[in-house]
Amino acid sequence: MESAPAAVIERELLTAEMSSFRVEAAQGTERSPSIIFRIRRRLPDFSRSVNLKYVKLGIRHAGSLKSYLPIMSVPVLASAAYSLVPLDVIHYSMDMLTCVAWLGTAMVLLTVYYLKRPRPVYLVEFACYKPEDEHKISKKAFLEMTKSTGCFNDETLAFQTRITSRSALGDETYLPTGVRARPPRLNMLQARLEAEEVMFGCLDALFASTGINPRRDVGILVVNCSLFNPTPSLASMIVNYYKMREDIKSFNLGGMGCSAGLIAIDLAKDMLQAHPNSYAVVLSTENITLNWYFGNDKSMLLSNCIFRMGGAAALLSNRRADADRAKYRLLHTVRTHKGGTDEGFNCVYQREDEGGKVGVSLAKGLMAVAEDALTTNMTTLGPLVLPLTEQLKFLRALVMRRVFRARGVRPYIPNFRRAFEHFCVHAGGRAVLEQVQRSLSLEDEDMEASKCALHRFGNTSSSSLWYELAYAEAKGRVKRGDRVWQIGFGSGFKCNSAVWRALRDVPAVSPLPAAAAPGPENRSCNPWVDCVDTYPPNTYV
């Protein structure tokens, strides 16, 4: 592959598109397939691809019959009151039968609403796993480790060096023992040890912080890990470790990519609607040990450069008694799946390279599929969260274009900064965050949590959204009434959103006393407790 000019290389970002493979004959012999990476500088313009059907979908999400029952009861009650008013002072008459009929109708509507209203879903607490210092690895040490394996040629070593230097990861990210060992120990035992360390680490902190007895109190368990799915499952490992109850409703989600954390939240929400007075635990992680790529296909090497060790656990409740101590209430979840098209299904694909080594490849149409999924999700979410003024501006532009066929009128892209105080965008890579910021017209402070999480912990897959929310909490920025937008995307191709409202002020974290730091019983739920004062860094490079 020909080297690009230095000025172009300096502008290279992590978002890459892979051109078609080609096999050429040179002097009568076939040459190995060559790969050309083209860097997409910007995401496609959202304003040119807003689809009316997704606006309708959002409106359908926003209102069902049962949500309008209280509104419908207002005119009914007004009619009942009106029937009691004397229409003629001299010839006063009271239609008692009409009054009773209206009152009865109103009572029926209110009773149906009370019985059919969704149960509130509270986020009591969440905990992010912070690995021990022995797992830390700097960018320099990562490149030395990569070279020492002897698995990569000079071209792919240079590629990984270039990507790592521009990845926006810091020098204190974490890798599991099996990957860091020399030679690497990539086996089932090491993968299980990594899973146990991450899962039980954040769950121990969560249960200690909330006072929940996992053996008795947890009725629903949802675990998501995309690439590591042993038998028995990760969910069964947790049930066995904590000796959970026999009637627990457990789920293990695999192969669903970096957006699976919000899928797990959505599943837990539905389960809490069906099971009153229950606690649900959601655990999101990714396992690196058995998914480290040792080949020379550049489309599969990005994950080595940016994915790091991490996980998070959240305690959800539908008990109204938990409203006083819960941090957030779940308002909306919106899921978008583009797997119905071949482009969406194949754009992130686990396969074997020419040497038989397994990795996850990125297709050249990845960014186009991601843009389409993100646009669809945002357009569906809009009617649920945007203020009326923003929706009216959008409607006006839509009518001018669709009804009056006015030329030069572009779709109005709502200002989502008027709907949310905090943005948690999946820290999939530096380029992704920068392009989302540009496309949504977000300020630097809106993206600070996402960029800092990428710098400090790397891409921790589905758990990255929780590291970002933990950052906002650690800084003391979450106030009562604040709205949080978590948005993740991953293979499939999927884009998912969750919207939370803060129920109370969350105080800034304070470091643990030095004497209390050792020991799992003193482990903080917030992974930023000992480093938040050093963030944001002067530079993310």
What amino acid positions are annotated as catalytic residues? Answer: 258, 337, 422, 426, 455, 459
Question: d(Cα 309, Cα 177) in Å, to the nearest integer?
Answer: 10
Tokens of 362: 């990125």
Tokens of 138: 């700097």
Q: How far is CA 430 from CA 259, 425, 443, 462, in A?
A: 17, 11, 15, 16
Question: d(Cα 364, Cα 261) in Å, to the nearest integer?
Answer: 26
User: Beta-carbon neighbour count of residue 119 at 10 Å?
Assistant: 17
> Are 350 and 79 within 8 A, CB to CB?
no
11 CA to centre of own chain = 28
Q: β-strand 279-285 against 218-224: which pairing, if any?
A: parallel
Tokens of 291: 């998914």
Residue 13: which residues within 8 A CB-CB, separation 6 or more?
Answer: 39, 41, 166, 429, 430, 431, 434
Residue type, 107: M
Residue type, 540: Y
Among 541, 522, 379, CA closest to 12: 541
Residue 223: which residues within 8 A CB-CB, separation 6 or more?
Answer: 199, 233, 234, 235, 238, 250, 251, 252, 253, 264, 282, 283, 284, 285
Question: d(Cα 268, Cα 263) in Å, to the nearest integer?
Answer: 9
Which residues on adjacent β-strands are paired with residue 284? 224, 312
Question: d(Cα 340, Cα 263) in Å, to the nearest integer?
Answer: 18
Question: d(Cα 140, Cα 380) in Å, to the nearest integer?
Answer: 43
Question: d(Cα 520, Cα 339) in Å, to the nearest integer?
Answer: 42
Tokens of 151: 């698995």
Which H or E run includes 494?
strand 494-502
Q: What is the 3-state secondary structure (H, E, C) of 332-351?
A: EEEEEECCCCHHHHHCEEEE
Tokens of 219: 């009725």
Place of tokens 């963030």: 535
> Are 299 and 239 within 8 A, CB to CB?
no
Query: Helices 388-402 and 52-62 meet at what angle, rounded to 10?
Result: 150
Tokens of 43: 């995401």
What single DSSP character describes residue 85?
Answer: S
Dihedral sign for Cα atoms in the order 202, 204, 205, 211? positive
Give helix then strand counts, H and E, for the chain: 17, 17
